[in-house]
Amino acid sequence: MTRRPFIAGNWKMHLDRRSIADFCASIKDADLPGDVTVGVFPPFVYLAETVDALAGTGVVVGAQTCRPEEKGAFTGEVAAVQVKDVGATHVIVGHSERRHVMGETDADVRARLDAALGCGLDVVLCLGETLDERKAERTSDVVLGQLAAGTKGLDGETLASRVTLAYEPVWAIGTGLTATPEQAQEVHALVRGRLAEDFGDGVAQRVVVQYGGSVKPANVADLMSCPDVDGALVGGASLAWDSFSALIAFERQEAPQ
Ligand code: 13P
């Protein structure tokens, strides 16, 4: 089963109006590979203009989180339906910065996922262990626990066609410490194995699982050569067109020996 690779930039709280306009102009000029899904997740204030700027390019544009309620007194928050309303197609839920900095629980993450799917957005669900959890050999418990909380009871077709998983070990995010391809593959295979148990092998083989954590042009080919790594969710190296375009072109890069 060949899964379509999905390479996405999570811009977090970076970039400004001018640099995003320049970035979008570069995307429009680029000869994007036809066999890779490319996505960007800008800060909320630039979401609508990024959607407009990239219209017709095929590039996926999404939000970095959402609020599950449709409307209400939630000062500073943005509802999934509002993300959908400006033309975005995707939303990230459960990013480790939301879990650990903003204190989102598995239940909060699930509420966001359900709201997003419910209003027609596709979802990138992030999973990942902290360094302490890895050292305590709790990686599989943590990741499979987050997976269960995020996917239990979903319809298999919805999962396969509208949910992307992103394994992002917290210790590898923004630290320059990338998981080795072996470490990434081990967890990706674990996740796919659990999906097969819960949803059947047909569904498990279709779910795209991205890796995230210090992905850069120098290591992307090596990571992407792992059988269960289907894409990348990229922070730092997605902020400049030079490096992001090199990531998108991962297939044409030589994996370091
Ligand atoms: P870095 O690529 O900067 O490590 O960030 C990864 C990430 O958190 C993407 O969501």
pLDDT of 67 over the 50 cut: yes
Nearest CA to ligand 1 atom 2: 235
Cβ neighbour number for residue 2 with a 10 Å cutoff: 7
Residue 74 contacts by C-beta under 8 Å, 6 or more apart in sequence?
67
pLDDT tens track for 79-123: 999 999 999 999 999 999 999 999 999 999 999 999 999 999 999
pLDDT for the residue numbered 252: 61
Q: Is the CB of residue 16 less than 8 Å from the CB of residue 24?
A: no
Instruction: Give the pLDDT band of residue 257 (cuts 50, 70, 90).
Output: very low
Q: How far apart are CA 111 and CA 153, in angstroms?
A: 13
Residues in the chain: 257
Q: State if residue 64 touches ligand 1 by the CB under 6 angstroms criterion.
A: no
Q: Which atom of ligand 1 is nearest to the CA of 175?
A: 4
Pick the CATH number of 6-254 from 3.50.50.60, 1.10.132.10, 3.40.50.10210, 3.20.20.70: 3.20.20.70
Over the stretch 23-44, which tens digit does the pLDDT of each residue have? 999 999 999 999 999 999 999 9
Q: How confident is the model at residue 254 (pLDDT cuts 50, 70, 90)?
A: low
Angle between helices 17-29 and 241-248 (to 10 degrees): 40
Q: How confident is the model at residue 253 (pLDDT cuts 50, 70, 90)?
A: low
Quick one: average pLDDT of 7-25? Answer: 98
172 CA closest ligand 1 atom index: 4
Q: Look up the pTM and report it.
A: 0.97
Sorting pLDDT into bands at 50, 70 and 90, what band is 17?
very high
